Chains A and B, each alone.
Chain A
């Protein structure tokens, strides 16, 4: 092997591999954490908002219901169903009869089979429509009926996906910057080492001319300089003098 071919490849590879691993772990762990955090947060927020909306409708419905004006009631829920995430709303009277709803082409079997006067929060899958979180609110303490509305969990999933996408985008940028920075730092560390190695090999092979051409490493004040001087000491059996001026312990000129 020629001295000029000496490279510090393994050190670089290991460092790069380490960077990959580190960022992989960071990316994966933050994404998982983000999924749970965002999902929990959004689900909770959506559920709370849904309950607030259901309560608002319930409070607004009292007079309308007492006036038996179902057209106004329908108009009211039609306005709320335009809010993003709300997929359906229905209002049942105290006997469970549906008085107004927003379903097309009809009330799904899954809802018909359930108790429309319940105010429990349920997760529901409706055939052909999707998955929903359904909340309820009583009208006039339930004696006038119940409002129930379904929030599309697909909207929450979409928001989670978007948040994760943004997070991964950020991690990728940091990763790319990290790789470039790592390469640069590795190069900074590898160059003196390569010089020391080349100098040591020249000494070992007793190639004085080659060693002389690489003697600049002896002038370094860092670990590379110390190592080079150590190699020179071992090769000549001279006393090591750290305080010697650069070049004073170099090979015989």
Chain B
């Protein structure tokens, strides 16, 4: 198992006011608060874990540079799960029982998180909470596991509902689904199904792929299955490598309909695969529409976006070298790293609300005290016992001049 403990020490901060240490095993010392993270740092979806980590690191490094929280610096203990459930479960066991981190933060993926949630319930006497997983699935938002997780991003239900509503509004009612054959894919599939049902429609066709499929793999069979359904649009619920392969083969086989992707896809990585070393790349991207759960990182008029861009430029964070075994070129900015940045920003705010003696059992109270909090993106964040998701808004983007930009007019683009 790959492991690394990254302690995000700043250079200028001094330890002040660290007066009380929590009992051993609480993940808090006089000088440090340790968060635990298991994410994909290897495999075809490694871009998601790496970018999420980079965005969060940028903010945590900034906070540590300012002296930390009550004199305690923030450290992240990271493990690679390769976006696979079993390693994710093992990593979580290690984080909870051996590393004894204060809380879990920034997990990536539905199939991983859905397997971890029962562990949190099993060890509920330890009051370990999962904060801001990079997934919009329902299990961590609803009973019986909703009490053990706090979400920032909008759900897949909201993303798929938005996509379906917009497609139906412009007359594209025959919607097919291409999805990953696991809990993530099913979560998105269920969202599309429910949204279509509200419009009196059903899923026109469906095709699946195995988690971990690479861009070099073929999706021709999946395209052929969906072509038979004669869809007006396809909604993809997958990771960037497989979704890029699908978009490529769809164009190559003549399936010229809008292809939508959810925020989880990792838009920049998807775009890179579809355009890199490819002539006529525009044909592969002009019908793409990606939903996002954070605003565009190009929208510099937004305070948090400006802050994010400054911190990313200033700190230029890198993923733990021990975990990143395969070549990866990070993006200066991305939707995923912006989400990681916002996750970290809210995490810091919650940790601050714990006061000088942070304890796990005080975490829910601290989270629920967040009411109409301005994260800097123009949407207020609120939590409560029955509201375990901070943000609700979904954004839509299309590719223009080789980058994802906000979609203003669906009808003009896709009608």
Partners in one complex: yes
How many whole Å from A206's CB to the nearest CB in chain B?
A: 93
Total contacting residues, chain B, CB less than 8 A: 27
Q: Are B111 and A75 in contact (CB under 8 A)?
A: yes
- Beta-carbon contact of B114 and A72 below 8 Å: yes
| B382 interfacial by beta-carbon distance below 8 Å | no
Distance between Cα atoms of A102 and B181 in the complex (Å): 6
- Please measure, in the bound complex, the distance between the C-alpha atom of A68 and the C-alpha atom of B142, giving whole angstroms: 10
Binary per-residue interface labels of chain B (198-240) against chain A in the complex, 1 for a CB within 8 Å, 0 otherwise: 0000000011111000000000011001000000000000000
Q: Smallest Cβ distance from B121 to chain A, in angstroms?
A: 13
| A69:B142 contact, CB within 8 angstroms | yes
A106-B208 in contact (CB<8A): yes
* Contact between A105 and B139, CB atoms less than 8 A apart: no
A71 and B184 within 8 A (CB): yes
Tell me what chain B mostly uses at the interface: helix, strand, loop, or mixed: helix
- Is the CB–CB distance between B187 and A71 below 8 Å? yes
Kindly supply a per-residue 1/0 record for chain A positions 184-221, scoring 1 wherever the CB is within 8 Å of any chain B CB and 0 otherwise. Answer: 00000000000000000000000000000000000000
Q: Which residue of A lies closest to B184 (CB)?
A: A71
Q: Which residues of A contact B208 (CB under 8 A)?
A: 103-106
A98 to B132, CA, bound (A): 31
Q: Assess the B184–A105 pair: CB atoms within 8 A.
A: no
Interface: B138 (CB within 8 A) = yes
B182 touches A70 (CB 8 A): no
Given the contacts A67-B143, A104-B210, A106-B207, A75 and B138 also touching, CB distance less than 8 Å: no
Chain A residues, CB < 8 A from B182: 74-75, 78
Q: Is A73 interfacial (CB 8 A cutoff)?
A: yes
Q: Write out the residue numbers on chain A whose beta carbons fall within 8 Å of the beta carbon of B48.
A: none
CA of A209 to CA of B307 in the docked complex: distance in angstroms?
A: 123
Contact B209 A70 (CB under 8 A): no
Interface residues on A, range: 10 to 19
Measured in the bound complex, the distance between the Cα atoms of B210 and A78 in whole Å is 12
| Contact present for B181 and A69 (CB under 8 Å) | no
| Contact code string B166-193 (vs A, CB < 8 Å = 1, else 0) | 0000000000000001111111011000
Contacts of A67 in B (CB 8 A): 142-143
For the complex, give the distance between the alpha carbons of A73 and B110 in Å: 12
Q: Contact check: which of A70, A71, A73, A105 meets B222 at CB < 8 Å?
A: A105
Q: Which residues of B97-135 are within 8 A (CB) of A? A: 110-111, 114-115
Say yes or no: B209 contacts A71, CB within 8 Å: no
Judge whether B143 and A105 touch: CB under 8 Å: no
Asked if residues B189 and A70 are in contact (CB atoms below 8 Å), the reply is: yes
Q: A72-B114, A75-B111, A105-B221 are in contact. List 4 more A-B contacts (CB 8 A).
A: A68-B190, A72-B138, A72-B183, A105-B208
Residues of B that sit less than 8 Å from A by CB: 85, 110-111, 114-115, 137-139, 142-143, 181-187, 189-190, 206-210, 221-222, 225
Interface pairs (19), CB distance under 8 Å: A67-B143, A69-B142, A70-B186, A71-B114, A71-B139, A71-B190, A72-B114, A72-B139, A74-B186, A75-B111, A75-B114, A75-B115, A75-B183, A78-B111, A100-B186, A104-B181, A104-B210, A106-B222, A107-B206
A-B pairs, 10 with minimum CB distance: A74-B186, A71-B187, A70-B190, A75-B183, A75-B114, A71-B183, A105-B222, A71-B137, A74-B183, A105-B221
